Structure 1
Amino acid sequence: GGEKASIDNLWRYGGFFATGWNGLILSLAVIMFSFGGLELIGITAAEARDPEKSIPKAVNQVVYRILLFYIGSLVVLLALYPWVEVKSNSSPFVMIFHNLDSNVVASALNFVILVASLSVYNSGVYSNSRMLFGLSVQGNAPKFLTRVSRRGVPINSLMLSGAITSLVVLINYLLPQKAFGLLMALVVATLLLNWIMICLAHLRFRAAMRRQGRETQFKALLYPFGNYLCIAFLGMILLLMCTMDDMRLSAILLPVWIVFLFVAFKTLRRK
């Protein structure tokens, strides 16, 4: 292990992009899966005590954490272990500690990964319950979802979110070999839809504020060009998904889902 560890591993085996740009481009859809959940910062603004200060601080911390935990960890990983020897069916971090004869640390890392997964699940249930509550208040979801506890927690929305997400366990039981790939493709497709809608909603929101003569307290970088750039990038990811066997179905069904939501929205508006 010690002989392999070197900063030269970053460029020794064919340099950067040793297999060409094609691999990087095709992996963008999978990379998007890792960044899912960043939009939760906006959802928490409604319950933040001082959103004018806490939200910008949280947004800036996301950038620092990406540099530290995503970019920084990959630099350390590739410096410790040549990328040509990393196996796709196991965690590269766990492999490093196993090769260093540190099974205790490897087991501890597996535990950290499990805790991180539970944290992601907690964030997902939190955001979904708040969105269901908001839809119910607007009249776009059943009224029983508006019930809150003494602490203001939307208890019915929370329980329904937990019950629905528990179906993942059943999917994993029925399709143990394909469950993760199917769910990842579904998550990426819904992330693309969410982020595109966020970009469009932000454009409409800023235009409405401008007509009312109001100034926003949160300055968006490169607005409005940044919004169109994000939409174009997300559209490119969607096209890439259409070329991938594991993700093609989710990409094809996404327009069908959009049409279903549009029809449901129009039906509710008429009522």
Structure 2
Amino acid sequence: MEQQELKRDLKNRHVQLIAIGGTIGTGLFLGSGAAIEKAGPSVIFVYLIIGISLFFVMRSLGEMLLSNAGYQSFIDFATDYIGNWAGYVTGWTYWFCWIMTAMADIIAVGVYVRFWFDIPQWIPALVCLVVLLGLNLLTVKLFGELEFWFAIIKVITIIALIVIGIVMIITGFQTDNGFVSISNLWEHGGFFPNGMTGFLFAFQMVVFSFVGVELVGVSAAETANPKKNIPSAINKIPVRILLFYVGAIFVILCINPWTELNASSSPFVQVFSLVGIPVAAGIINFVVLTSAASAGNSGLFSTSRNMFNLSKNRQGPKLFAKLNKNHVPSNALITSAVVLSIGALLSYVLPDTAFSIVTTISAICFIWVWSIILIAHLIYLKKRPDLHRKSKFKAPLAPFINYVVLLLFAAIIVIMFVADETRPALLLTPVWFIILFFWYGMRNQK
């Protein structure tokens, strides 16, 4: 039935900005401080390594999505090339990834609102969730518009930071913490002040900073011209990584020595305060609030589309495969929102540990998803060399680069096990996969 198909209502500008929003998450605004504290200036290399690796993941994703007009997400080709179990486990794990990520984002909205209004943080958190749910229920165009404007706010903030920072470097501007200079990168303990240990321990938070980069693939089903828009969005990822991540962190570390940055607050807020802008704290608080709302919005969109596709492919309850009159998976949206509201309340009950545990589990599960994309691409190269030859969007350096990135992901998991901060969440995560494999086994016995 026509009504039970997602509508291709996302235009090129929506897809481009969804791509930008996916590569600028709350991890950059909020988590970069913790990453800088661990690695010092060498965190720039960490962002480069993860960013380049994910570009190759996205190229594999792009080639496979465009190899079959029936593919609506990576769940479809994971099922085709790896097996039904891979589609089932990866599909529900991706839903879980975004539920965990959006939990942190929604509760963060409540924290940011308290900057201006002294009210319990769960109130604005739930209000935000209800508003996002209402807008997403209407039409996919509204999701595109929301992300369009959220992303513009992020872009303007980061570009303003970079421009102001460059002017300060050129003019030798002096702050309370000394002169603004490129030499701040190596004059405070060197480029690797905490050695290789600090450098390696920064990888977890940087991985979390990039979660959502694959949203371009999730939105493929609702893109008006995927053969044109998907390659365009993916090919611009390296430029965005260099500008928004490496550029921003580079400027921050030149303006303020890494030793002066506080891991518990946003480096962006601290740097804008040093610039001498009186309302800097309020401006950046608004930016990180919209960033958190944007991430929550992306999470709600992504989880609902996952539930719809899983159920449509008989890997979930039929209830979630139904669309409303606006071609939106309303049942899946409402269910995801209910789970998110429970998560927000749990995050409020455990404010000191919930965020760290949730973000680490999210990063681990995203590594699973990205790895499945690379593995499916390897199998595709072996089974369908004809499609690869005909592809107008071939993944570069494949299959060699697939193995390199998979080894990197395995190394990051080992690092998470070694680090005291991330080990508890790493040990908890297998519980999710045990439950999924159990459910999958039970379904197959019916």
TM-score, normalised via structure 1 length: 0.92
Please say if 1:109 is aligned against 2:294. Answer: no
Q: Name the SS of the counterpart of 1:12 in structure 2.
A: coil
Please say if 1:56 is aligned against 2:226. Answer: no
Instruction: Measure how far apart 1:8 and its partner are.
Output: 1.8
Aligned residue number for residue 267 of structure 1: 442
Aligned residue number for residue 272 of structure 2: 97
CA deviations on 1:130-155 (whole Å, 9 max, x unpaired) are: 11101101111111101112221111
Aligned residue number for residue 235 of structure 1: 410
CA gap 1:204/1:253 in 2 versus in 1, 3 angstroms: farther
Instruction: Measure how far apart 1:194 and its partner are.
Output: 1.2
In structure 2, what residue type is equivalent to 1:216?
A: S
Contact 2:388 2:394 in 1 (8 A): no
Q: Which of these residues, 330, 333, 338, is aligned with residue 163 of structure 1?
A: 338
Aligned residue number for residue 213 of structure 2: 38
CA deviations on 1:138-185 (whole Å, 9 max, x unpaired) are: 111111101112221111111111221222321222111112111111
Q: In percent, how many aligned pairs have the same letter?
A: 37
Structure 2: how far apart are the matches of 1:263 and 1:211? 36
CA gap 1:256/1:169 in 2 versus in 1, 3 angstroms: closer
Structure 2: how far apart are the matches of 1:38 and 1:184? 16
Instruction: Measure how far apart 1:90 and its partner are.
Output: 1.8
Gaps of 5+ in 2: 1-173
Please say if 1:19 is aligned against 2:194. Answer: yes
Please say if 1:186 is aligned against 2:361. Answer: yes
CA deviations on 1:212-234 (whole Å, 9 max, x unpaired) are: 78733321121111211121111
Q: Which of these residues, 58, 80, 83, is aligned with residue 258 of structure 2?
A: 83
Q: Which has the higher contact order (CA 8 A, sep 6+)?
A: 2
Q: Which of these residues, 53, 66, 70, is aligned with residue 245 of structure 2?
A: 70
Structure 2: how far apart are the matches of 1:219 and 1:30? 30
Instruction: Measure how far apart 1:70 and its partner are.
Output: 0.7
Structure 2: how far apart are the matches of 1:134 and 1:247? 32
Deviates more, 1:53-62 or 1:7-16: 7-16
CA deviations on 1:99-120 (whole Å, 9 max, x unpaired) are: 3442312210110111011111
Q: Which of these residues, 125, 128, 151, is aligned with residue 300 of structure 2?
A: 125
In structure 1, what residue type is equivalent to 2:363?
A: V
Structure 2: how far apart are the matches of 1:79 and 1:143? 54
CA gap 1:97/1:187 in 2 versus in 1, 3 angstroms: same
Q: Which of these residues, 160, 169, 184, is aligned with residue 9 of structure 1?
A: 184
Instruction: Measure how far apart 1:243 and its partner are.
Output: 1.4
Structure 2: how far apart are the matches of 1:181 and 1:93? 20
In structure 1, what residue type is equivalent to 2:302?
A: S
Instruction: Measure how far apart 1:211 and its partner are.
Output: 6.6
Deviates more, 1:113-122 or 1:161-170: 161-170
CA gap 1:214/1:161 in 2 versus in 1, 3 angstroms: farther
Structure 2: how far apart are the matches of 1:96 and 1:214? 49
Q: Name the SS of the counterpart of 2:429 in structure 1.
A: helix
Structure 1 vs Structure 2 CA RMSD: 1.9
CA deviations on 1:247-271 (whole Å, 9 max, x unpaired) are: 2133223334333323322332343
Q: Which of these residues, 204, 219, 236, is aligned with residue 29 of structure 1?
A: 204
Aligned residue number for residue 422 of structure 2: 247
Q: Which has the higher helix share?
A: 2
Instruction: Measure how far apart 1:47 and its partner are.
Output: 1.5
Please say if 1:258 is aligned against 2:433. Answer: yes
In structure 2, what residue type is equivalent to 1:123?
A: S
TM-score, normalised via structure 2 length: 0.57
Instruction: Measure how far apart 1:83 and its partner are.
Output: 1.1
Aligned residue number for residue 380 of structure 2: 205
